[in-house]
Amino acid sequence: MFYREAGDFKTSYRSDNQTFPIAFDRYRYYAVLAVAIGVVPFVVDDYWANAVLLPFLIWSIAAIGLNILTGYCGQVSLGTGGFMAVGAYACYKLMTAFPELNIAFCILLGGGVTALVGVLFGLPSLRIKGFYLAVATLAAQFFLVWLFNRVPWFYNYSASGQISAPERTVFGIAVTGPNTQAWATYLFCLAFVIVLGWLARNLTRGTVGRTWMSIRDMDIAAEIIGVNPLTAKLTAFAVSSFFVGVAGALFFAVYLGAVEVGEAFGISKSFLVLFMIIIGGLGSIFGSLAGAAFMVLLPVLLKNVLVGGLGWDTVLAAHLELVIVGALIIVFLIVEPHGLARLWDLAKEKLRLWPFPH
Amino acid sequence: MKRLTTLALLGALASGPALADLVFPDLSYRTGAYAAGGIPFSDGYQDYFTLVNERDGGIGGVMAKVIECETGYNTEKGVECYEATKGEGALIYQPLSTGITYQLIPKVTADGIALHTMGYGRTSAANGRVFSHVFNYPANYWDAATVAIKYLSEENNGDLNGKKIVLLYHNSAYGKEPIRTLEEMSAKHGFELTTIAVDHPGQEQKSQWLQIRRERPDYVIMWGWGVMNQVAIQEAANIRFPMDHFIGNWWAGAEHDVIPAGAAADGYKSLNMNKVEALPVFDDIRKYVVDAGKAAGDGTNVGSVLYTRGMYAALLAVEAAKTAQQIHGTAQIDAAMMRDGMEALDMTAAKMEALGVPGIGPEFTVTCADHGGTGLSVVQQWDASAQKWKVLTDFIAPDDSVTDPLVLADSEAFAAENGIELRCQ
């Protein structure tokens, strides 16, 4: 009734190809942005920022990154945790080596360094595919974590091997370190999500994204029609690693403030991001966000309901949480293998016909 | 909708009877690879507060309330727990995790809540001039490292020259803490130090023990936690490493660490900062807490090494709260007053006697500049036939000539990095 294309005439290719061709969708998108920028910062408190919103935003960036590589270019990666560590440690080294450098640039440069490392570890993808590539990226995961544990230069020779973020400001407002305000860190991460999400959306529907998808769908056919697999695969690794590196840098600098590599960027993080994109939907920006929301928010919600609301024992709740999240993952994979993004699309299809489905 | 429900639930929590109580959050872990150590500690911690409520009617007449939050030894969940509980009037945090401690040090300092990391966490927090809200009395890792070396040196008539010592450590912030001190000690005493890392969670240590077998060290010192301890002791037994040459730190010396290896664990030594003996307070705990059905766990842990340590942690918190009540002349203390109480804490033998815990720990006094206590610890040995830890030594003093400069250097570097002005001038 409200949600349809009828009457919404497009008079240029530009407007016909926009991300949200349906007016209702577009307004909804603007409304979400307006709430996220204009309302949430005024109501957010420390708990909401640190336990819910920051992890959601940061994992969203990581999920978009992995989705570019796995969902769009079809290269399986289990090295996400390791690449996040590269971003975090690069950001840390830059923060401590150049204290006057703005934190936003530290984070972006951290992403840049990760892109280089990602390309390096992406080289085997030119020769090997599928499970074998997954194992090669798994090696990256273990190697990188080992490296950051092993070489004291990376953690500035601190006694404990921990890295901790000193205070840095943007426009005079602290975004890292202990004296941050919830709204400042939230807005800082939100800015990264919006810009990088916009970038990813436009990359994936342009030439670069099309070459990635052609490699994913059938690499030999893609090569025959003139797609260079070297550039396609390596750009996918570079862009994906850049996103993952930025996520790692934010994770360390803004969210946690202090990390030790084995715990913060272990193999479990690689799987976490992989679950996010599988549950959210491969090859979809919205899916990355939805998957991150699912994996981050559900445990917190369950904990609050079971322990806070029902007053259950914390152990019972912690175990039940694992059971419920695990069961939901299986249910999702069986009921909707294409993820939350597909459910969202189906909902929109239904909505388009509503209230006259025939 | 999701958000609304959670908000409503959080609101319901916050508006409870929390206002009148003294809130002591317990960031526990009863799940995961480190639960074996987390459960008895948390039981002891909670049971002592229950005892104080039941027996004494609270702390200075105000009831203590423990809010438990499961961290699973995971730093992100630790942060979530901290944010979820700090708004409820939390007086003190004791996360029992070095990783979470590093996370919380800047946060508690900004929020003005005290952090007590008893025998773990950031060692240089002992310097109260830099760390205003962090306390690690009665002892820290660097003290422990020097005590272990001092003990070994005494065993060898004061001469460790040319001996080979291996440090087997958990490859995390926790395990890496003693390395710098041991390097200093190695230079001072002339022994050869080899460090061998065990990655989380430490269930697989074949290669590490193969290396130990090849290198034939005179002693192995272990900085382990969780499942790593049991596996290490089992592996040591497998390569027939003499158990009395194997010394764990105080987090690698509980009953559940040695029992799985059975008779083979006999003679294994570990440090301890609190004595494990039949203390009178346990009778009270059994009477008022366990038998009344109010125990945090099933009551079987009462008197075990980590239960005792958890109880000791709670006891120190209660004593600090009492001190704070005296200083400020009000029973209803807040987090800032609690911090003052911790900074003025004075644990004397008479006080411990009166609390039913004679000789549980060393006597110590906390001051503005010294948040670290005396650093004394004992060496205990496992007797597999009696299934008991036997205390071998009296409290041994650490080598302050080694640790003090290290603490000073590390804390001053932290102060410079974070632009902290020195206190207590």
- What pLDDT score was predicted for residue A290? 94
Q: Does B28 touch chain A (CB under 8 A)?
A: yes
Cα A352 vs. chain centroid, distance in angstroms?
30
The amino acid that residue B209 corresponds to is W
Residue A340, CA distances (Å) to A272, A282, B326, B373 in order: 16, 10, 58, 55
Determine how β-strand B219-223 pairs with β-strand B192-198: unpaired
Q: Who's near B225: CB < 8 A, 6+ residues apart?
A: B34, B37, B170, B174, B251, B252
Judged on CB neighbours under 10 Å (0-12, 13-18, 19+), A225 is: exposed
- φ, ψ dihedrals at B139, nearest 5°: -155, 160
The answer to whether B136 and B125 have CB atoms below 8 angstroms apart is yes
Q: Give the closest-approach CA distance of B252 to chain A in angstroms.
A: 18
Q: pLDDT (tens digit, 9 = 90+) per residue, B89-104?
A: 899 999 999 889 988 9
The answer to whether B33 and B201 have CB atoms below 8 angstroms apart is yes
Chain A CA closest to residue B105? A178
The architecture of the domain spanning B141-274+377-403 is 3-Layer(aba) Sandwich (3.40)
Cβ contact, residue pair A315, B70, below 8 Å: yes
How many Cα atoms within 13 Å fall on the side-chain side of residue A97?
12
Mutate to test the interface with B, among A146, A160, A185, A252 (most CBs of B within 10 A): A160
- What pLDDT score was predicted for residue A1? 61
- What is the rounded distance in angstroms from the CA atom of residue A69 to the CA atom of residue A233? 8
Instruction: To the nearest 10°, report the CA torsion of A332, A334, A335, A341.
Output: 50
Q: Which has the higher per-residue pLDDT, B418 or B46?
A: B46
Q: Does B83 touch chain A (CB under 8 A)?
A: yes
Q: Which residues pair with B127 in a beta bridge?
A: B370
What is the layout of strands, in order, in the sheet containing B246-248? B192-198, B164-170, B219-223, B246-248, B269-272, B378-383, B388-391
The answer on pLDDT for B3 being more than 60 is no
Q: Hunting for tokens 């993820």 — which residue is that?
A: A339
Q: Who's near A199: CB < 8 A, 6+ residues apart?
A: none
- What is the rounded distance in angstroms from the CA atom of residue A200 to the CA atom of residue A197? 5
- What is the rounded distance in angstroms from the CA atom of residue B161 to the CA atom of residue B189? 6
Q: Give the closest-approach CA distance of B48 to chain A in angstroms.
A: 19
The answer on pLDDT for B15 being more than 70 is no
Q: Does B420 touch chain A (CB under 8 A)?
A: no
Q: How many CB atoms lie within 10 A of CB B7?
A: 13
- What is the rounded distance in angstroms from the CA atom of residue A97 to the CA atom of residue A88? 14
Residue A214, CA distances (Å) to A203, A339, B335 in order: 14, 21, 60
Q: How many CB atoms lie within 10 A of CB A247?
A: 36
Q: Does B87 touch chain A (CB under 8 A)?
A: yes
Please check whether the two domains, B20-140+276-374+405-418 and B141-274+377-403, share a CATH topology: yes
Q: How many CB atoms lie within 10 A of CB A82?
A: 34
Q: Does B195 touch chain A (CB under 8 A)?
A: no
Cβ contact, residue pair A177, B418, below 8 Å: yes
Task: Give which of B186, B190, B194 is closest to B168, Cα–Cα.
Answer: B194
Q: pLDDT (tens digit, 9 = 90+) per residue, A271-322?
A: 999 999 999 999 999 999 999 999 999 988 998 898 888 888 888 888 898 8
Q: How many CB atoms lie within 10 A of CB A126?
A: 12
The answer to whether B129 and B424 have CB atoms below 8 angstroms apart is yes
Q: Which residues pair with B116 in a beta bridge?
A: B135
- φ, ψ dihedrals at B300, nearest 5°: -75, -20
Q: Who's near A10: CB < 8 A, 6+ residues apart?
A: A16, A21
Q: Does A99 touch chain B (CB under 8 A)?
A: no
Local structure of residue A19 (DSSP, 8 states): S
| Domain residue limits, chain B | 20-140+276-374+405-418, 141-274+377-403
Interface of B with A in 196-215 (CB under 8 A): 197, 199-200
Peptide bond into A124 cis (omega under 30): no
- What is the rounded distance in angstroms from the CA atom of residue A42 to the CA atom of residue B89? 23
Which two structure tokens, joined as six digits, stand for B96?
Answer: 């029992």
Which two structure tokens, joined as six digits, stand for A171?
Answer: 């426009």
- φ, ψ dihedrals at B244, nearest 5°: -80, 0
B chain contacts of residue A177, beta-carbon cutoff 8 Å: 106, 418
Cβ contact, residue pair A46, B86, below 8 Å: yes
pLDDT along chain A (358 residues), means of 10: 77 87 87 94 91 95 96 93 96 93 95 96 89 92 93 87 88 88 94 96 94 94 94 96 97 92 90 93 93 92 86 87 88 87 89 79
Chain A CA closest to residue B415? A166
- Pick from B72, B79, B199: CB nearest A50: B79
Q: pLDDT (tens digit, 9 = 90+) per residue, B116-170?
A: 999 898 888 999 999 999 999 999 999 999 999 999 999 999 899 999 999 999 9
CATH superfamily of B20-140+276-374+405-418: Response regulator (3.40.50.2300)
- What pLDDT score was predicted for residue B108? 92
Which two structure tokens, joined as six digits, stand for B34?
Answer: 């480190």
Chain B CA closest to residue A322? B31
Estimate the crossing angle of helix A54-66 against helix A182-204, to 10 degrees.
Answer: 20
Residue A279, CA distances (Å) to A344, B173, B358, B405 in order: 12, 33, 57, 53
Which two structure tokens, joined as six digits, stand for B248?
Answer: 């764990």
A chain contacts of residue B110, beta-carbon cutoff 8 Å: 178-179
Cβ contact, residue pair B179, A259, below 8 Å: no
How many Cα atoms within 13 Å fall on the side-chain side of residue A232?
28
The amino acid that residue A151 corresponds to is V
- What is the rounded distance in angstroms from the CA atom of residue A328 to the CA atom of residue A315? 20
Peptide bond into A355 cis (omega under 30): yes
- What is the rounded distance in angstroms from the CA atom of residue B230 to the CA atom of residue B261? 7
Mutate to test the interface with A, among B4, B6, B27, B100 (most CBs of A within 10 A): B6
Mean pLDDT of B302-323: 94
The amino acid that residue A103 corresponds to is I
Residue B201, CA distances (Å) to A354, B32, B161, B170, B229 in order: 54, 9, 34, 8, 10
Residue B328, CA distances (Å) to B316, B337, B340, B348 in order: 18, 7, 9, 21
The answer on pLDDT for B18 being more than 50 is no
